[in-house]
Amino acid sequence: MPRRRTILALVPAGLVALAGRHALAQPADSVPWSSGTERPKLVVSPGAADCHHHIYDGRFPVAGGAKPADATAADYLKLQHRLGVSRHVAVQPSAYGVDNSCLVDALKTFGKSARGVAVVNTDVTDAELKRLHAAGVRGIRFNFAPAGATTPEMMVPLSRRIAALGWHVQLHAAADQILALADVFPKLACPLVIDHMAHVPEPAGVSHPVFALALKLLAGGRTWVKLSAAYADTKVGAPSYADVGAVARAYVKAAPERLVWGSDWPHPSEAADHKPDDARLLDLLAEWAPDPKVRHRVLVENPAKLYRFA
């Protein structure tokens, strides 16, 4: 099972930095919750998207006694500046339960370049779903690793309610949990997005049953996989993450039209003094998908389709 989320240490929020390709010419800056200061070697195309990050802001109440430190919208804009991505997707973290106030506030700050993935349960009203849609939300997340505010039993009924909005169900779960849900996935009334390469365990890698299930789902045309959090399941470790890289390359070979990339900043599963280098995480994509046309698909075309960027 993926490591439990580590409480982040407190640091001051950074100043807002404008994102865009013009920023690549400026000196590199340090970014909270990211090691290193250099920009990626991979220069991404206009419209490239970071499809998985989180926002934590002490102005908003947390659920269940969680005490995360700030990783604010202003902090993320510094990472966007460093990576050179044009678009991004903020994912509601488990710390806020089904209160999406922090997410909606961040989306207001980010504007049209961002989309959101919320967390709701079966008590959510249709009016609230419409409000979230207007704010930029395009999916709902079920986080079962660790268990949070939702249950597997909620997946099918909520999928039916969000289908008309053009949303998707996003799943974060350990490999054995994903396998246990195999009979649920065909019943979903909307697309499925699987976090962090389906947490394929190492050293089994592509021989593990969860990878076979993920390929089957991808072949069905209604499932997407996020190439994110290479550090979550690696046994080799940084900087190569070679074992997880073999899984990523297998995904790229099998279904490049159903993959998106994400930083997973501020890397809540990693200790505050052991954060990965986000520039290196983006550079890994050049190794996983050496064909520039495939990378463009993963970074630009696929996110535009999945999250309905203009």
Catalytic residue among 57, 195, 243, 264: 264
Predicted local distance difference test score (pLDDT) of residue 10: 32
Report yes or no on 29 lying in a domain: no
Instruction: Decide if 264 is catalytic.
Output: yes
Predicted local distance difference test score (pLDDT) of residue 300: 98
Predicted local distance difference test score (pLDDT) of residue 27: 44
pTM: 0.90
Exposed, middle or buried by CB within 10 Å (0-12, 13-18, 19+), for 179?
A: middle
Report yes or no on 36 lying in a domain: no
Find the helix packing angle between 242-254 and 278-288, rounded to 10°: 50
Span 244-263, pLDDT tens digits: 999 999 999 999 999 999 99
Predicted local distance difference test score (pLDDT) of residue 28: 56
Predicted local distance difference test score (pLDDT) of residue 29: 73
Contact 203, 235 (CB under 8 A): yes
Q: How far apart are CA 256 and CA 289, in angstroms?
A: 9
Report yes or no on 32 lying in a domain: no
Report yes or no on 25 lying in a domain: no
Predicted local distance difference test score (pLDDT) of residue 146: 79
DSSP bridge partners of 226? 260
Report yes or no on 77 lying in a domain: yes
Span 166-201, pLDDT tens digits: 999 999 999 999 999 999 999 999 999 999 999 999
Report yes or no on 18 lying in a domain: no
Report yes or no on 23 lying in a domain: no
Predicted local distance difference test score (pLDDT) of residue 23: 37
* Owning domain of residue 173: 42-307
For the chain, the domain total comes to 1
Report yes or no on 5 lying in a domain: no
What is the DSSP pairing of strand 223-227 with strand 192-194?
Answer: parallel
Spell out, as residue ranges, where the chain has pLDDT lower than 70: 1-28
**Residue 285, domain CATH:** 3.20.20.140
